[in-house]
Amino acid sequence: MSSSSSSSSPTTTSCTPATDAEANGSSNAFRSDPIIVLDLETTGLDHRCERIIEIGAVRLEGGQIVEEFSTLVKPDVPIRHSSFKVHGISDEMVADAPSIEDVLPKFLEFMGDLPFVAHNAIFDYSFLNEASKRLYDERLKNHRVDTFEMYRVTFPEEQSHGLTSLLDRFGFEQPIKHRALEDAANLGRVFPLLREHYEQKLSWQLSQLKNISYLVERYQRLQRTMQLLQAEITDLRELFKLHFTEGGKPVTATNGEMLVTSYRRQYDYNEAELRKLLEDCGLQHKTFKVNIKAVDRLIDRGDIDTDIRRALIGTRTRMSENRVISFIKPVDYEPAAEEDSNNSGSEEENA
């Protein structure tokens, strides 16, 4: 295996430019051998105003890593604190690094016209494409293969489809550092296994297309059944809330789980102010809908810059507290929380 930021030209497999319809595994790009697996670290999340600060990539042949590409990149904008807390790359670390003008030609030569694999590939593609347009006034032409989408399609039952979950699924050790080459190498090791399972799932799906008329009817029947079940579940939850409002105690089901109640605080926001703040901080793309629950989690976790956190809290306009119902294991039940549930600052407590 060679380790380099070299510009040695790899042997390539000819591929036509990817369309949006082909981008996430619906073409044959994921079957390519050789193939490039890459990861980027950036100053922030918005590809239009943030910059690449690290490129890590590996070349896979026959399912094995045969070559690496790794380099820091000096950006023309500062690294956001929220991004620094993810990858640990500081402005000082990239102060003497080569510019994207020096790095991109070498990296594009390393990739050739091979497809590239990335986890949430649209993120990496957007930054590389933006750099290509700035430097060469042309779009990136390589196919992209999104392992996030492949993982989601292949194992929909997983609660998370992040890279950590993917590595766990196939028994790989977790990386200590969140850096580009380490992430690319780990993804490169797990990709052949994911590809094998994805191909099996895809083959089964393709075999079902001959039954498409029946499947459409079945889908509609299931949808109607789910709507009826959801209405009944909603009614039952309201009855459970009334049980606790009337002084009822937790109920233990036959499987050992306990029906309990708790209070959850909810906040309304000035959405115009919130959207502008998120966009200014690089935490929100203009075309995306604001995810209020994600904003609440961002504030509660406290892993963002203190000033940004205070500004986010400042866009809140109203707080309400709602009773919620949940089933828990008895070991998680804390009756004492009932006395101070209205005074605690936590998001949710058992009552």
Query: Which residues have a catalytic role annotated?
Result: 178
Cis peptide before 34 (omega within 30 of 0): yes
- DSSP states of 189-249: HHHHHHHHHHHHHHHHHHHHGGGHHHHHHHHHHHHHHHHHHHHHHHHHHHHHHHHHHTTPP
- DSSP states of 245-304: HTTPPPEE-TTS-EEEEEEEEEEEE-HHHHHHHHHHTTS--TTSPP-HHHHHHHHHH--S
304 and 266 in contact (C-beta within 8 Å)? no
Residue 157, sorted as left (phi over 0), alpha (psi -120 to 50) or beta, turns out to be alpha
Give residues with Cβ within 8 angstroms of 97, minimum separation 6: 53, 71, 72, 73, 74
DSSP annotation of 335: T
Residue type at 338? Answer: E
- CA distances from residue 45 to 76, 106, 120, 223, 283 in whole angstroms, order as listed: 15, 24, 13, 37, 6
